[in-house]
Amino acid sequence: MLTPGGGKAMRKLAVALLVLLLTAGLAFAKGYEVSKKAGDYDVALTFDRNPPIAGDNMVNIVIKDAAGIVVKDAQVKVEASMPAMPGMPPMSNKTEATAKGDAYEAKLALSMSGPWNIAVKITRAGKSASMKFTVDAR
């Protein structure tokens, strides 16, 4: 037996359930993550957004040595660069990451959308290693 107004209640319930599912998905969204070797180091770099955006992005960098031990005493620099394009000069932004717990953090500004070359340079005990990759900022 149908009750008056039952259809409206079902629609409200369906909308509430849909909103709940969408916000739950956002809560578990992960940042853009890249893992690569840099010399003897395993480096995992995570942007706070996926995909990275034109503007300020926070990056988290975890470095492990060949034995799998987290490195906490390195100097870490991050550079984002975009090559010259027709009617546009090359762009570059360099920043130094700061140690925070078992990781390093840096704010990396990508001044426009498009492909960016990212280089992470690690200096420790007088030796340097680097990793490079490309991201597409939106």
Residues 94-135 pLDDT 10s: 999 999 999 999 999 999 999 999 999 999 999 999 999 999
pLDDT score recorded for residue 8: 80
The predicted model scores a pTM of 0.77
**CB 62 within 8 Å of CB 44:** yes
Strand order of the β-sheet with 103-110 is: 33-38, 41-47, 55-64, 103-110, 91-100, 75-82, 114-124, 127-137
Quick one: average pLDDT of 37-55? 97
